[in-house]
Structure formats: C-alpha cells, structure tokens
Amino acid sequence: MSADFRQFAPCASVDPEAMFPNPKNQAGVVLAKRICDPCEFRSQCLDLALAPDTRSEFGVFGGLSEHERRALARRRGRRTRHSMAA
C-alpha cells in the first residue's frame, strides 16, 4: 500500500509539524483533526496508519490521534481474535 495519495491531501499544504501535535496539547490535536475532516483519503490513510508494515505511531492520520488509533487497533485485534476463536 502506498502513501502517494497524501501529496494530494489537505495535510500536504500545511506545516508537517501541524500533523504531529503533542498528544497532551488538545487544541493542537483538534486542529490537526480538522485538517483531516474534508480529506477524501481518510479511510485509506487510516488503513495505512494501522497496517503493521506501514504503521504510524505518532501524529494524526485518517482523522484519528495516535491514542485513538491505538484504541482502534486494540478493538480490531480483539474482534479478530474473537472471530478466529468462534
């Protein structure tokens, strides 16, 4: 999976630092998420940020903060384990 789409995304026209706010800076996180709001690539971006080989540990990607992505990955992992056990 390639991240080429990001060059056409809203985040490409802002200071890259804006997408990597300190997670304790809620205003910065909200601002970064607002940049993602109108992005047509959110779903692709989130998948890429969660995939094991392209995982993005830090920053806002796909409209989710790093904490939100970790929580989502944990939920998805639990769901996968449950479905494999069924």
Query: Binding residues for ligand SF4, per CB under 6 A?
Result: 6, 9-11, 19, 35-36, 39, 41-42, 45, 61-63
Other residues' Cβ atoms within 10 Å of the Cβ of residue 8: 11
Q: What angle do CA 31, 37, 56 make, to 5 degrees?
A: 75
29/39 with CB nearer ligand SF4: 39
15/84 with CB nearer ligand SF4: 15
Q: How far is the CB of 27 from ligand SF4 (least distance, A)?
A: 17
Q: Please check whether residue 36 is in contact with residue 22, taking contact to mean a CB–CB distance below 8 angstroms.
A: no
